[in-house]
Structure 1
Amino acid sequence: MSQMKNSNGTIMSKKKIAVFFGGRSPEHDVSVITGLQVLQALDGTLYDAFPVYVAPDGAWYIGDILCQRANYLLNEQNLKQVTEVTLDVRATRGGALLPKKIPLFGSAKPITFDIALPAFHGLYGEDGNIQGLFELANIPYAGMRTKASAILMDKVTTKYILKAFDIPTLNFAILKRPAQGYLIPEDQLTELLGSVGFPCILKPAHLGSSIGVAKANNVDEAKALLPAIFEYDDIAIAEPFVENLVEYNISVSKVLGRVLTSAVERPKTSDELLDFKQKYMSGGDDKGGNKLSGNKTFSPASEGMLSLTREINPDMPEGMEDKIRSWAECLFKAIDGTGAPRIDFIGNSKTDEIWMNEVNPCPGSFGYFLWEALKGDPVFFTDLLTSMLVEAVSENAAHALPFDPVPVDARLLRRG
């Protein structure tokens, strides 16, 4: 925690925020972009933030050059300007990073922080793994908790949860990567896909961002497409292809004191699935509503580029918006939701059928634009992040254990 003086000369304490991003995930690059946006958007009057970059090989780095997108991926010269660190997992309140290289004389000074803000997408960061590590180390962290992250990043488990709460979801089949190779025998594949039919959509069970999603018109195409999915995930999921596809996305959170849903977006798509680069690269770099200057106003440039790929607050069939909001809130409450996940729906624009498709525990850019477009009472990116950090401290306190977690009656070993 650092200190600063306000306009009245009073000393104020600023919490130190470690923003984690990158990771050993196919969505590594998107995570870097989100992490850099977060660093720009955080309220500098309340927080001192610094980047913690996790490289594709799993190494953790800190350093000022990590604040600039142009320095990624790190080359040999860049690596000389950063410090490799590891997390101190001793359960003291707050976090500490330990340099891996110890000076010849003396000891390495730990880099302490008050709250972790993970901005990971996909495997090993959005799926409960890093959240569990922070809980082990008793570090307050923003976003969804371990249980919810693990459930929602598994499309199969999410399906079962949706069915339990009568939230409509497409029928599905589970396809597991063979013990040897990537090819499922054709007769077995035909049987597995029998309940889904053709055409069908194949996708990884644990990835997002449209990575690996493909359409199969018959069993031969399915057999040919699965190896590419199995290269990145050990489980694929198959669903019926939805004709006249329309998509609606909405975010949900309780960081403002009550469960609240955001504006709705309708991604603009042709007859093809949303392309990964279109989804993340068309919005430019300044996605924080002009946060670099500290102005909590809409950025016309950002809005214009976003409108190329999505429609915010679209016209919808009567009653559909109410259903989407109700189902989103129901799921969020069912999994003890925290943070600001984005929930994606797909539908048939001709029949007006609608299904919950998947959930992003940590959506790209934290879905800031959905909150900024909320009718009547917009929530700006900076304020959303501030509320998430406040929630992080509250959640940590609510789940805290005593320093010695063993009850007196259960103690079998001598205490000092």
Structure 2
Amino acid sequence: MKAKVAVLMGGDSSEREVSLRSGAGVSKALAKAGYEVVAIDVSWRWGKRKEHETLSGARPHKNDFVLCEGLLVDACTPMELAEKLLEYGVQVVFIALHGGYGEDGTIQAFLELMRIPHTSPPAKACMLAMDKRLTKQLLISTGLPTAEHIVVNKKDFVTTSIDEISKRIKDSFGFPCAVKPSSEGSTIGVSKVESEKGLKSALETAFKYGEWSIIEKWIEGVEVTCPVLGEGENAFALPLIEIVPKTASGFYDYGAKYTPGMSDHIIPPRLPKEVQEKARDIAIQVHRLLGCSGFTRTDMVIDKKGNVYVLELNAVPGMTETSLVPHAAEAYGWEFTYLVDWIVQEALRYWGEKER
């Protein structure tokens, strides 16, 4: 019998719905691979629910032990999670929580304190990846390519005129630019700003999701992404994917990411082989730089001259039916069931060696 796995999903971030879809897909695949699985919806909302109320959709009451499509499903608040993991005798955790405490190192540090292996990178790596300000500082300090940028604090935005911020942009790299929250994923809160006219609105949107925003030079080019698996010298890249959104703006937004048919994933990308290899190598370097293990996904853009620019590393990539990591794995020759099985086995190996 394989290990008892808890799949953590849901959460309280703006990416909750994506997380539920990722968790459901992973849970079914792990059960198919022969694991004993319990899917746990972790959210503070369950602490506010009356005892007679049920979970949303097909999920059962948190105190019921019922099978949903052949799987045991439960729910709890973050405060109750330790008790749940011990109650179920969980041996390894597959983290499918996106954003917030599920991706910023909080849940990872909690599991590491409990000495329960998990599928994400270590807590410190997740913290660095989640905060784009810190990621960019590390990239720049090691000479890895990333777009020029400035950072703006919410308090400064309130006290500083938009003209002053606009002047900083013009003095640095000019318009158009991308405005994004420093610590969000799934393109939530991200805007493309063509001129200073749209800057104030874009910053107001970004600051709904945190105290810091990044304003980044807009790089025209081919958007690609590269999943990386493993850790250290054993880390390796899956095939590179070219992303072609079908939105009217051509922007790879939340809808394009998670609505079937709203984007094309082209493998291999329509790029020279040497450029593809350079991008894959950079993705591996970023994965190692942040101290990642498990599986990550690095988003990049490649300009007309073949220059690669790192946008961000995703420490807990989506695992839905439209997600990029499963598509890259399929191109590599791995079915989804094999992929999640490999990820769990790698987690057991990695954290097992850490405890020796």
TM-score by length of 1: 0.73
Pair 1:42-2:20 in alignment: no
How far is 1:317 from its partner? Answer: 2.5
- Mapped partners of 2:93, 2:79: distance in 1: 11
In structure 2, the residue matched to 1:10 is none
- Mapped partners of 2:48, 2:41: distance in 1: 6
Whether the aligned pair in 2 keeps the contact of 1:182 and 1:226 (CA below 8 Å) is no
Where in structure 2 are the equivalents of 1:81-160 lying within 5 Å? Answer: 84=76, 96-97=83-84, 110-160=87-137
Residues 382 and 139 from structure 1, CA distance in 2 versus in 1: closer, same or farther, beyond 3 angstroms?
same
Where in structure 2 are the equivalents of 1:142-291 lying within 5 Å? Answer: 142-178=119-155, 184-193=160-169, 194-243=171-220, 245-254=221-230, 258-269=234-245, 271-282=249-260
Gapped regions of structure 2 (runs ≥ 5): 65-73
Gapped regions of structure 1 (runs ≥ 5): 1-12, 90-94, 99-108, 283-304, 402-416
Residues 136 and 58 from structure 1, CA distance in 2 versus in 1: closer, same or farther, beyond 3 angstroms?
farther
Whether the aligned pair in 2 keeps the contact of 1:183 and 1:227 (CA below 8 Å) is no
In structure 1, the residue matched to 2:334 is 379
Residues 318 and 332 from structure 1, CA distance in 2 versus in 1: closer, same or farther, beyond 3 angstroms?
same
Partner secondary structure for residue 248 of structure 1: strand
CA RMSD of aligned residues (A): 3.0
Indicate the structure with greater helix content.
2
Identical counterparts, % of pairs: 27
In structure 2, the residue matched to 1:286 is none
In structure 1, the residue matched to 2:315 is 361
In structure 2, the residue matched to 1:92 is none
Residues 262 and 88 from structure 1, CA distance in 2 versus in 1: closer, same or farther, beyond 3 angstroms?
same
Whether the aligned pair in 2 keeps the contact of 1:60 and 1:85 (CA below 8 Å) is no
In structure 2, the residue matched to 1:370 is 328
Match 1:24 to one of 5, 9, 12: 12
Where in structure 2 are the equivalents of 1:275-354 lying within 5 Å? Answer: 275-282=253-260, 309-348=264-303, 350-354=304-308
After alignment, is 144-153 or 362-371 more displaced?
362-371
Whether the aligned pair in 2 keeps the contact of 1:18 and 1:116 (CA below 8 Å) is yes
Structure 1 residues 124-157: Cα deviation after superposition (integer angstroms, max 9, x where no partner): 1111111011112221111211111111111111
Which amino acid in structure 2 is aligned with residue 197 of structure 1? Answer: G
Structure 1 residues 383-402: Cα deviation after superposition (integer angstroms, max 9, x where no partner): 2222222222233333338x
How far is 1:190 from its partner? Answer: 3.0
Structure 1 residues 254-309: Cα deviation after superposition (integer angstroms, max 9, x where no partner): 27x93221111111136531131221121xxxxxxxxxxxxxxxxxxxxxx59x52
Which amino acid in structure 2 is aligned with residue 152 of structure 1? Answer: A
Structure 1 residues 16-40: Cα deviation after superposition (integer angstroms, max 9, x where no partner): 1110011111111100000000011
- Mapped partners of 2:48, 2:105: distance in 1: 18
How far is 1:361 from its partner? Answer: 0.8
How far is 1:380 from its partner? Answer: 2.3
How far is 1:345 from its partner? Answer: 0.7
How far is 1:318 from its partner? Answer: 4.6
Residues 187 and 50 from structure 1, CA distance in 2 versus in 1: closer, same or farther, beyond 3 angstroms?
same
Partner secondary structure for residue 102 of structure 2: coil
Whether the aligned pair in 2 keeps the contact of 1:209 and 1:276 (CA below 8 Å) is yes
Residues 79 and 134 from structure 1, CA distance in 2 versus in 1: closer, same or farther, beyond 3 angstroms?
closer
- Mapped partners of 1:122, 1:172: distance in 2: 22
In structure 2, the residue matched to 1:8 is none
- Mapped partners of 1:58, 1:266: distance in 2: 39
How far is 1:123 from its partner? Answer: 1.5
- Mapped partners of 1:111, 1:264: distance in 2: 38
Partner secondary structure for residue 71 of structure 1: coil
The number of equivalent residue pairs is: 336
Whether the aligned pair in 2 keeps the contact of 1:247 and 1:347 (CA below 8 Å) is yes
In structure 2, the residue matched to 1:71 is 58
In structure 1, the residue matched to 2:67 is none
How far is 1:177 from its partner? Answer: 0.8
In structure 2, the residue matched to 1:53 is 41
Partner secondary structure for residue 252 of structure 2: coil
- Mapped partners of 2:46, 2:159: distance in 1: 29
How far is 1:340 from its partner? Answer: 1.1
Structure with the greater alpha carbon radius of gyration: 1
Which amino acid in structure 2 is aligned with residue 311 of structure 1? Answer: I
- Mapped partners of 2:144, 2:345: distance in 1: 31
The 4+ residue runs of structure 1 with deviation greater than 6 A are none
After alignment, is 381-390 or 137-146 more displaced?
381-390
How far is 1:182 from its partner? Answer: 5.3
Residues 18 and 268 from structure 1, CA distance in 2 versus in 1: closer, same or farther, beyond 3 angstroms?
same
How far is 1:70 from its partner? Answer: 3.7
